[in-house]
């Protein structure tokens, strides 16, 4: 058998971050997700984090808060962003975040003039992003699993904090 015959070959689909692999002797492709990708989605959690930051922190409208993409025809519409945000906004995630926060040493008082946009349709998400901002304002590194919390990994952090499906 050739040296590379048993190697797994992967092909990445453009824009989705979703890879399909196939091994020798396997008849159908088996899915593999890259670290910041959700299965069967076109936009990574990093792109969703960018939209969160642009809408809630920078104050862009939903129409302008979409992540920057190479193809301007692929920018998600406002209803897609609302669906993403609604998926992260839950009382269960807020409770879980507060439990997580209480397990950390108390933060130093924050003197930043930073404000998070409040949004009536997302009652918990602005509070969660405020907590994320407070953590990011510290001089210490907050690790969750093998990742480090940053604005770029914010949606991944909230998604992992309380998965919607087990």
Distance CA 45, CA 42 (A): 10
**pLDDT 10s digits, 43-86:** 888 889 999 999 998 899 999 999 888 888 888 999 999 999 99
What percent of the chain is modeled with pLDDT above 90?
18
Split at pLDDT 50, 70, 90, the class of 140 is confident
Closest by alpha carbon to 56, among 124, 133, 118? Answer: 118
**pLDDT 10s digits, 151-166:** 988 988 888 776 654 4
Tell me the domain boundaries of the chain: 1-34, 43-161
Distance CA 25, CA 89 (A): 43
Q: Find how far residue 135's CA is from the centre of its chain.
A: 16
Mean pLDDT of the chain: 74
pTM: 0.69
How confident is the model at residue 133, as a pLDDT? Answer: 86
């Amino acid at each position: 058998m050739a040296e590379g015959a048993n190697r797994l070959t992967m092909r990445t689909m453009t824009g989705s971050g979703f890879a399909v692999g196939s091994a020798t002797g396997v008849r159908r492709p088996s899915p593999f997700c890259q670290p910041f990708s959700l299965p069967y989605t076109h936009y990574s959690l990093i792109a969703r984090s960018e939209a969160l930051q642009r809408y809630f922190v920078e104050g862009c409208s939903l129409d302008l808060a979409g992540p920057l993409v190479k193809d301007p025809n692929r920018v998600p519409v406002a209803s897609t962003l609302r669906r993403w945000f609604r998926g992260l906004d839950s009382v269960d995630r807020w409770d879980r975040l507060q439990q997580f926060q209480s397990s950390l040493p108390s933060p130093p008082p924050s003197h930043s003039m930073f404000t998070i946009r409040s949004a009536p349709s997302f009652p918990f998400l602005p509070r969660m992003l405020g907590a994320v901002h407070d953590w990011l304002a510290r001089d210490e590194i907050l690790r969750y699993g093998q990742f480090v919390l940053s604005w770029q990994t914010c949606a991944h952090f909230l998604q992992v904090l309380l998965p919607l499906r087990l």
